[in-house]
Amino acid sequence: MTEKHKYPSPLYAAAGIGDLAAEKLRELPGRVNDVREWAREEFGGDREKARADLAELGGRIGHGLATVRTRVQSLSEADLRELRGNARKRAGEFADVAARNLVTAQDRATHLYEDLVTRGSGVLDTPAPAELPEPKPAKKMAKKATRPAARKSADK
């Protein structure tokens, strides 16, 4: 990102975000249709079957939780000490992994920002066409007739 731009880099990044958002919005109707088609194939429009499957899953989860509670309550003091030691060890490992993932996330964010600046420079530095298409008139929304709220009489 050492190249000089006419505008500040954050402006290019914002233009890049806008361009990317417009691109994704153009793709949205097709994706909605894809998801709708997937849902029809997956569930076949059978809501009752989906409800029954969810009810069965809820029952299985409840049974699993009851089993876990029973097993935890039956642990000995030695088992609990061992679990605490393992938890401390895993917490240390988790902190190491989290630190590495943070560096990876920072690198990804930097690359994304640079990509957005590049994309935005394509938007901002490209001259507008000599002749712009005529804008379509906006659809007028019908205003609902509203009556002013009745004033309360002070004479009451």
- What is the model's pTM? 0.51
Cα–Cα distance between 125 and 71 in angstroms, integer? 66
Cα–Cα distance between 19 and 25 in angstroms, integer? 10
How confident is the model at residue 89, as a pLDDT? 92
The answer to whether residues 119 and 20 touch, using CB atoms and an 8 Å cutoff, is yes
pLDDT in tens, 28-42: 999 999 998 888 887
131: left (phi over 0), alpha (psi -120 to 50) or beta: beta
Cα–Cα distance between 5 and 27 in angstroms, integer? 30
Domain residue ranges of the chain, discontinuous segments joined by +? 9-45+77-124
How confident is the model at residue 147, as a pLDDT? 55
